[in-house]
Amino acid sequence: MEKLVITAAICGAEVTKENNSAVPYTVEEIAKEAKFAYDAGASVIHLHVREDDGTPTQSKERFQKCIDAILKLCPDAIIQPSTGGAVGMSDLERLQSTEVTPTPEFATLDCGTLNFGGDEIFVNSDNTIFNFAKIMKDRGIKPELEVFDKGMIDIAMKADKKGLLVRPLHFDFVLGVQMTATVRDLSFMAGSIPEGSTWTVSGIGRHEFEMAAAGIIMGGHVRVGFEDNLYIEKGVPAKNNGELVEKVVKLANLLGREIAKPDEARRILGLKSR
């Protein structure tokens, strides 16, 4: 079985310091949280950025400052900017995160519209998805195909048929939002993607470590972090993102799965060598 690639989603766009005081906002806080996660064993830093007051932004300038700060502390980390941004942002606003220097190796591509709870709807039309895929392909960026249910896999395959994706494909199964987070669901999703593809699982909230354990056993990869879950165990807030990554490393050690370092992760995920 391949070594385990761990992604740390260090801040997201929705959680706040009111939810957990360790959620990072400033450039310095974001870089520090990335370093905690990297030191604990994360190869990939999934990156949203905030203004100093916590407001989510897709500003190219803010992404550049945060990426520069992270690379000073973690020079070989794989930084994966989000093109999801936050609910209500325009397509062009969301794509600013891919306009930084150096051009990202890896970035997320959300493959469908979903309900985020209450009145919040995250809109991704087919044309938005195809346009994002084309732009990322033109820029030499590998997309992580973020899918929240089986229908989004099918939309990703439409993009693949149009020649907008380059195989092998990589998927992130985000479970516990629009689709329930069970081993049955994860197995169904993993069995629905093209042969030779790689995948990561992100369990939201209380499902984070259940899905991490299942992903480790099934040969997939794992994402954890404050974007998805703020607690190290029930009722106990995590001190930092590194603590969440450390728990995955412990699970992997118990289950006999080695942890990939960044250059090993690049090979496993089909990224260009740096």
Interior angle at CA 264, CA 261 and CA 267, nearest 5: 150
Q: pTM of the full predicted structure?
A: 0.97
| pLDDT tier for residue 86 given thresholds of 50, 70 and 90 | confident
Question: Rounded to an integer, what distance in angstroms lies between the CA atom of residue 197 and that of residue 192?
Answer: 10
**Residue 206 pLDDT class (50, 70, 90 cuts):** very high
Give the Å distances, CA to CA, from 85 to 50, 57, 123, 236. Answer: 10, 7, 11, 28
Domains of the chain: 6-269 (3.20.20.70)
Residues 17-57: pLDDT tens digits?
999 999 999 999 999 999 999 999 999 999 999 999 999 99
Give dist(CA 152, CA 148) in Å, integer. 7
